[in-house]
Structure 1
Amino acid sequence: MKLRAEVLPLLLLLIVCCDGRSLGTSDFPETAAENRGAYEMNRRMCMVCEQFMGQVVEYLKENKTQAEVLEIFHKTCLRLPSFRQQCILLVDYYAPLFFLEIGLVQPEQFCTKVNLCGAKLPVHLPKAEDACSVCEHAIVDVLTKLKDPETQLEIIEVLIKACNKVEQYKQQCKKLVFEYGPLILVNAEKFLETTDVCVTIRACKPSPTETAVE
């Protein structure tokens, strides 16, 4: 439960620490290829923001105090050294505003207000496939992308898309993504190679050997 409580603020902080407007301006030279990259990054940032903001709302419904939420935020900042400074500045400056806004706006509205979302962008998902195949392909894709430190947000997107394909267990799947988010970001390759995620979320059936062990 403690890990679960720390994951979502971390992911939210990683999202909001970069203002959406900056992604389309100074951070990206004006070339066609990099403009497309900026567009894709903005799209992913918007989707991830809306997903995790919705989960943050659920945590606040559990009656955590502002002090408890701030403590969780600061602890999660310490978990990723490369984002620590931005993360702490974000908590100290924006957290009071966040507490004021969260009861007044929906997650989608909040993400738009902080410039992570603009006009709705179409998200084209693949046609229905076998849930196990979708999950396994997603994990392979994730392991490949882990070689590039710039694709951490894309990793979250891939996992969320895989969850959306496993309709019966969609919420359980998303909770696992939230719970193991820090592990995926800090030591993802080792985690995914040693954990059968697709069996864990019941997208795939365990092998006879695994069933016998259980």
Structure 2
Amino acid sequence: MDVKVCLCLLILGAVCCTARELAAPDLLIKETTDVSALWISNLQAQKQLQPLKDVEGLCTLCEEYTASALGYLSNNETQTKILDLLLNTCSKMPIYKLKCTALVDQYVRPFFLVISTIKPDDICQKVDLCQKVVSISRYFSQNGCDLCHQVVNETLLKLKNPDTQLDILELLLKACGSVEKYANKCKKMVFEYAPVILVNAEHFLEKNDVCAILHACEPAVGKEEVLPKLQTSMHSAS
């Protein structure tokens, strides 16, 4: 299904940006795209929004998939795979290996703690999925694949919206405050890397068939599915 791209892209993008910073922007975009396929989380739904009372399905859908993405990120096995993948990436950049490894050690584990403090309903409210919904007749007339594509399109629009970007920053900074021991490091990382993360999130949604990856639609001809590629990459890195 859908509703799994933005939050996890931001979180994973933060990890990837930490590992490469601005030293290799092209590599940053590629690797962020690869790692983002581990979770894939969306925050929005539909193009034509109306300030109507919430109807069954849309808000619940957002919270369900956001909770699934956050749960996946909180899993110890998932975190281990992410750390291994990032450290392996660092080892392939001799010039930046030491700095890259230090950044991974310094920021990734604290950020996993931040993830555990974020609530799905907070995210869905921030992006108005539990406050604004599409016309009822339009919503129920669409199948899962159509809905997924509209969610992805709306997510792209939201990611390009400065108000949404500020809302995301506010949510992440609030979460940082919940982890007292690492609060300063967490906030520093949010301010340093969030803008680049958002750019990479847009890039991922534009270049990949997210709905096919989530099995909401059949893979589009000519579209590369990044999840198998990532799994192959992780296998070769182990």
Same fold (TM over 0.5): no
- Normalising by structure 1, we get a TM-score of 0.33
- Normalising by structure 2, we get a TM-score of 0.30
Higher relative contact order (CA 8 A, sep 6+): 2
